[in-house]
Amino acid sequence: MRLPSFLYGTAWKEEETEHLVRLAIEAGFRGIDTANQRKHYFEAGAGAAVAGAIRDGLVSRDELFLQTKFTYAAGQDRRLPYDPNADPATQVRQSFASSLEHLGVESIDSYVLHGPGRHDREVWRAMEELPVRFIGVSNVVLSQLEALFAFGGIKPSIVQNRCYARTGWDAEVRAFCRANAIVYQGFSLLTANLAELRSAPFREIVARVGRTPAQIVFRFAQQVGMLPLTGTTDPAHMREDLAIDDFELSEDDVGVMISGLVRH
């Protein structure tokens, strides 16, 4: 399965999730990222939007890339998608079954461990047995990723991290991903880097290229091998964010951003 070049992220949208995911699909997004973690996501809302879009003939299931996550109890609130007294492998299977129900589909394309924890080996072994195309991990540092990669019988295909300009846009983790054929998904590319995006070097790039700051950041991300996420709630911004295939940043501009010179 070919991965999309952009993902729509559904965190922190609560009762607006269904409406916003529908708008994202209408705008052209074909990758939806969610999690079975009611504390920060409304997975069933994403599923309702997907079902509605398929029912209305906007997309087919095969055109959509659906990604969700298993979240440890420490990252949940009281609305757990599994038995808190069950063993970790059983919790994975229960959470996965719950996600299928929430999303209203028969298959999930990508299943991600939503941050490392105490039982990663048991959880990963259970994830390896799930009927999904890709498994991965989010919110990891390099040492955690290296350990999981060394352990896994099925290696992670995806890493999803919050991405900071001040660390070279997660340079060490991205380098490991690049060397090991792992797709790096970057989130909070805008909100995690507000100071850098106000800097003079970045403003100069925006003025010279003649695109929005968000378009510059997302195009940069794609050019350096990231699969970016956006969680915008503005339909106009959804369309703008996707409209980045008709230009490229120069090597010099990419170098400025990679080097960290975009710092405030």
Spatial contact of 109 and 66, defined as CB atoms under 8 Å apart: yes
136, burial (CB in 10 Å: exposed 0-12, middle 13-18, buried 19+):
buried
pLDDT at position 95: 98
Q: Which residue has the higher pLDDT, 115 or 261?
A: 115
Q: In angstroms, rounded to a whole number, what is the distance separating the alpha carbons of residues 51 and 67?
A: 15
Query: How does residue 263 score in pLDDT terms, banded at 50, 70 and 90?
Result: very low
Q: In angstroms, rounded to a whole number, what is the distance separating the alpha carbons of residues 204 and 27?
A: 29
Mean predicted lDDT score pLDDT of the chain: 96
Could you report the per-residue pLDDT of 13-70, keeping only the tens digit for each?
A: 999 999 999 999 999 999 999 999 999 999 999 999 999 999 999 999 999 999 999 9
Q: Is residue 185 part of a domain?
A: yes
Q: In angstroms, rounded to a whole number, what is the distance separating the alpha carbons of residues 264 and 3?
A: 34
pLDDT at position 261: 57
**pTM, two decimal places:** 0.96
- Residue 1 pLDDT > 80, yes or no? no
- Residue 220 pLDDT > 70, yes or no? yes
pLDDT at position 259: 86
Q: How many domains are contained in the chain? A: 1
Q: In angstroms, rounded to a whole number, what is the distance separating the alpha carbons of residues 33 and 66?
A: 6
Residue 216's domain comprises 7-259
Query: How does residue 215 score in pLDDT terms, banded at 50, 70 and 90?
Result: very high
Instruction: Check which CATH number belongs to the domain holding 165 and give it.
Output: 3.20.20.100
Q: Is residue 2 part of a domain?
A: no
Q: Is residue 1 part of a domain?
A: no
Q: Is residue 264 part of a domain?
A: no
Per cent of the chain over pLDDT 90 is: 97
pLDDT at position 2: 81
Query: How does residue 260 score in pLDDT terms, banded at 50, 70 and 90?
Result: low
Query: How does residue 102 score in pLDDT terms, banded at 50, 70 and 90?
Result: very high
What single string gives the DSSP state of each residue in 141-194?
A: -HHHHHHHHHH-SSPP-EEEEE--GGGTTTHHHHHHHHHTTPEEEEE-TTGGGT
Spatial contact of 8 and 231, defined as CB atoms under 8 Å apart: yes
- Residue 96 pLDDT > 90, yes or no? yes
Per cent of the chain over pLDDT 70 is: 98
Query: How does residue 264 score in pLDDT terms, banded at 50, 70 and 90?
Result: very low
Mean pLDDT along residues 64-85: 98
- Residue 119 pLDDT > 70, yes or no? yes
